[in-house]
Amino acid sequence: MLTNLKIQNYALIRDLEIELGPGLTIVTGETGAGKSIMLGAMALMLGGRADGKTAGNGKKTVVEGTFTAPERLNDFLTRNDIDSEGEELILRREISASGRSRGFINDTPVGLKVLEEAGDLLIDIHSQHQNHALTDPAAQIKIIDCFSNNEKEREAYRKAYLDFVAAEKSLRAARDSEARSRQNEEFLRFQLEYLDKLKPKAGELAVLERRLEMLSSAGEISERINGARDLLLEGDDSAIEKISSARSLLEGVNWELFSDLSEEDAGLLQRFESAYLELRDAAESLEGIAERVNADPKALEKTESRIGKLYDAQARFKVTEESELLAIYSDLRNQLNSLETIGEDIEALAARVKETGAILKAASAALTATRRKGADFFAVRLAETARPLGLKNLKVGVSVTKARLGISGGDAVEILCSFNKNQELVPLASTASGGELSRLMLSIKTLTAEYLGMPTIIFDEVDTGVSGETADRMGAMMADLGKVIQVVSITHLPQVAAKGNVHFKVGKHDEEETTVTTVVRLSEEERIREIARMLAGAEINGAALMNARSLMGVEK
């Protein structure tokens, strides 16, 4: 329930705050006084689009509503990480002087979509032009669902539909892929045969390039290695011969004559022995390496040829890295292998489509059954509710026929009516006048309020086109609805205004530089005069005042 509304700097409203309560709240005022401005501000608070002509105006616009938060908002608050403020929920929309828009719920910044979602759970604003929504097939199916107790069936159908759509999408993608692959199969095989002959391997190019470098300089490498070996081994002047001679000389020294030899000095012979053995081992290693150095021109030519083929392959497939070429090689094999199994995959996907299709068909039939039952119930209840509103010959029927499957089901729902005796039921769009639509919509809103659990509903002149006794009955219906939920009615009918628990009057007055809209809560005597004005116009006489008191049930 909306308990408080604040509006600052919106169109003609400078600074407005009103307190609202349960029951039926009436809002009246002369044409052009600004009743629609209040609704525009509320729509802005609920995530509506900001109009630069009405919001901002060089000053910061703020619209804030305080609601009592129903339990069904708990999931919404948790999902959007919004802190609870006890039993209150505060929605606020701000538009800066520069036009920047921000939304808040309990002071938590939120996007406009979140504001809109919150508004859908808190309040239903129904204006006169929305009466024509009754003729919209999507709106009609939602109305029937309210009376069909089919939330479980709708959820089952929705899941089945999404599963079926996903299965069909996968099947189409597989078939498209197969078609593309079949068209390219010959080319794919040609490319794969090329790479099969080449047989590129990971790391091969780096090995080949090192081998090429070695083969290209084999003569120089061999000369250097053999030269080093010769210095170690060949001739009397070799390093090994010199170390051997030094070792022999040292072996002839009587080291026991030295009394101050350190442990390191005493190990000199051993060190020469180790050096001798190490150098002989190094010389043998050099000899083995020299034998492996291959200056074979044929090996050089073969290596150069292999490297050239690998680089040609990279150029052919427009890649610069060995890893990219190997990835293409693997992908080609996978594509051609998949052609051998894609038939089996398509068969499995087709079976999945058939399976999900059967589930969808059953879910659709179950949903249709609930709607047909709900449609019959709705037709009876709508006729009972609307007949007292001057539609005594009203007959209602609902056609539920098969339609193309969509996210909301496989049904086409159409509300049928006749307003005169012996008249056949025909689609609502082709028979109802504006006044009849208004009375039907009020009846439907009254019926659906308890099913939807909407805490607040606002009627914006939905009583257009009616008068007299019918207007009185419409007012009584709104008052009865106000016993269940909060109802706000913007009306021009005195019969409706007289049924309110609280009455606000919207007016405007000129100030020095601007015109300002005001909203005033009326006392009982002020209500009588306002209703008398609605009855008689600008000249309020005794008869109008007496009639106003009579409508309100106030003693003279």
DSSP letters along 295-335, please? --HHHHHHHHHHHHHHHHHHHHTT--SHHHHHHHHHHHHHH
Contact 5, 18 (CB under 8 A): yes
pLDDT value at 132 more than 60: no
Q: Return d(Cα 488, Cα 478) in angstroms, integer.
A: 9
Domains of the chain are 2-146+390-522 (3.40.50.300), 180-338 (no CATH), 523-556 (no CATH)
Q: What does the pLDDT read at residue 509? A: 81
Average pLDDT, the chain: 84
Q: How confident is the model at residue 338 (pLDDT cuts 50, 70, 90)?
A: confident
- Read off the pLDDT of residues 160-170 as tens digits, 9 standing for 90 and up: 999 999 999 99
Contact 368, 411 (CB under 8 A): yes
State the average pLDDT over residues 494-506. Answer: 92
Tell me the two tokens of residue 302.
């073969």
pLDDT value at 431 more than 80: no
3-state secondary structure (DSSP) of residue 554: coil
Contact 272, 246 (CB under 8 A): yes
Q: How confident is the model at residue 351 (pLDDT cuts 50, 70, 90)?
A: very high
State the average pLDDT over residues 81-92. Answer: 83
Q: What does the pLDDT read at residue 221? A: 75
One-letter amino acid of 7: I
Q: What does the pLDDT read at residue 369? A: 96
pLDDT value at 435 more than 90: no
State the average pLDDT over residues 346-367. Answer: 95
| Residue 137 to residues 412, 416, 444, Cα–Cα distance (Å) | 7, 12, 15
Q: What does the pLDDT read at residue 56? A: 55
State the average pLDDT over residues 282-295. Answer: 72
Cβ contacts of 209 within 8 Å, gap of 6 or more: 307
Q: What does the pLDDT read at residue 374? A: 95
pLDDT value at 53 more than 70: no
Q: How confident is the model at residue 235 (pLDDT cuts 50, 70, 90)?
A: low
Q: How confident is the model at residue 277 (pLDDT cuts 50, 70, 90)?
A: confident
Q: What does the pLDDT read at residue 23? A: 92
* Candidate ranges 5-19, 123-137, 231-245, 466-480; pick with highest mean pLDDT: 5-19
State the average pLDDT over residues 363-377. Answer: 96
pLDDT higher at 281 or 451: 281
Q: What does the pLDDT read at residue 501? A: 93
Cβ contacts of 224 within 8 Å, gap of 6 or more: none
Q: What does the pLDDT read at residue 291? A: 66
Q: What does the pLDDT read at residue 3? A: 92
pLDDT higher at 39 or 262: 39
% of the chain residues with pLDDT over 90: 31
Tell me the two tokens of residue 174.
């597989």
- Read off the pLDDT of residues 519-533 as tens digits, 9 standing for 90 and up: 899 999 999 999 998
Q: What does the pLDDT read at residue 449? A: 73
pLDDT higher at 139 or 265: 139
Give the CA radius of gyration of the chain.
46
Q: What does the pLDDT read at residue 500? A: 92
Q: What does the pLDDT read at residue 296? A: 66
State the average pLDDT over residues 275-301. Answer: 76
State the average pLDDT over residues 183-200. Answer: 86
pLDDT value at 254 more than 80: no
Lowest-confidence segment of 228-232, 314-318, 484-488 by average pLDDT = 228-232
